[in-house]
Structure 1
Amino acid sequence: MSSDQKHTISVLVENKFGVLARVAGMFSGRGFNIETLNVGPVHLEGLSRITATILGDDQALDQALKQLNKLVNVVEVEHFTEGAAVARELILLKVSADSKTRPEIMQICDIFRAKVIDVSAESVVLEITGNDSKIKAFLDLVDPFGVQKMARTGVVALERGANS
């Protein structure tokens, strides 16, 4: 039996009531843990893209992708293999900061191209986008200052190159 791996799945769907619940239910019903889930409209009227990062067995994934393609309102399903897609996530986080620690936090933001989007006497709100490794490295550096709150979008991804 193969071990659980992280998979990024993109599902183009008709923007209709219940579609997200059916897609998410199909994954959870087959034993996949949904690590991130992102949904938003695309450039084509009436369509949305669901991007899910799931943890699960490779063998079970094949069956799940076939079942996804059979769901009503699903237009297209893509499973992104390593290196075949560009993936990003957006994070907003509120970090404790006073006049002594704020310059160091801002220096970390400069290095990672993060933005300071709000400043108060006791904290700063930061915005960062990037791939998984960039986000992890940034969070590791700002965590010692004290993360008060965080909101994450989940991964969004598109295939690289000339593929349609």
Structure 2
Amino acid sequence: MEEKKHILTMLVDNEPGVLSRIVGLFSGRGFNIESLCVAETIDPKVSRITIVTKANEPLVEQIEKQLRKLINVIKLRDLTGSRSVQREMALICVRAKPEARDEILRIVDIFRCKVVDVGPEYYIIEATGTEDKMRALVNLLKPMGIKKIARTGTIALFREPN
């Protein structure tokens, strides 16, 4: 059966050890977590965890059942597909030689990014968008010389009905 990417998001109690138990479910079953994002929600007692993993349908259903059994998991959703809004954020430090600065700024403008720090030989760029947009941006900046990159991985919310 074909593996595909799944985006699981869950509301959990904001308590020590909760993340460890959730990640333990994945590692204990041999699942790789491609990205993981955790942050407090508007309620300080609740956190949202977004996990991206690759697996076939029966395996994802199995892990969802196991996650739902955990006492600290309040709500779980699979946000794979078009019924969600998905974004990723990246900070990219790129070499900015004088002859490449104009081209980098054009790329930043085209991708609606922001230069958030400037040095004599680098720019740090803040970018937000889909995974495809991030991949395209990185591919265009690679020839300039990416020194380092920090990415959030995917975050997602269920699209509210009209």
> How high is the TM-score relative to the length of structure 1?
0.95
Give the match's secondary structure for 2:136: helix
Matched, 1:130 2:129: yes
Work out the percentage of aligned pairs sharing the same amino acid.
43
- CA distance in 1 between counterparts of 2:150 and 2:80 reads 27
- CA distance in 2 between counterparts of 1:162 and 1:134 reads 25
Whether the aligned pair in 2 keeps the contact of 1:114 and 1:129 (CA below 8 Å) is yes
Question: How do residues 7-18 of structure 1 correspond to structure 2 at under 5 angstroms?
Answer: 7-18=6-17
- Cα deviations across residues 126-152 of structure 1 (Å, max 9, x unaligned)? 110001111111111011101101111
Whether the aligned pair in 2 keeps the contact of 1:91 and 1:152 (CA below 8 Å) is yes
Gap runs ≥5 in structure 1: none
Shift of 1:83: 0.4
- Cα deviations across residues 92-114 of structure 1 (Å, max 9, x unaligned)? 01101111101100000000001
Q: Which residue of 2 aligns with 1:64?
A: 63
Alignment coverage as a number of residue pairs: 162
Amino acid at match of 2:77: E
Q: Which residue of 1 aligns with 2:116?
A: 117
Give the match's secondary structure for 2:48: strand
Give the match's secondary structure for 1:162: coil
Shift of 1:154: 1.6
Amino acid at match of 2:3: D
Whether the aligned pair in 2 keeps the contact of 1:5 and 1:55 (CA below 8 Å) is yes
Whether the aligned pair in 1 keeps the contact of 2:9 and 2:49 (CA below 8 Å) is yes
Q: Which 4+ stretches in 1 moved above 4 angstroms?
A: none
Whether the aligned pair in 1 keeps the contact of 2:5 and 2:80 (CA below 8 Å) is no
- CA distance in 2 between counterparts of 1:142 and 1:32 reads 32
Gap runs ≥5 in structure 2: none
Report the aligned-residue RMSD.
1.2
Shift of 1:123: 0.8
- Cα deviations across residues 42-77 of structure 1 (Å, max 9, x unaligned)? 112300000000111211111110110000211000
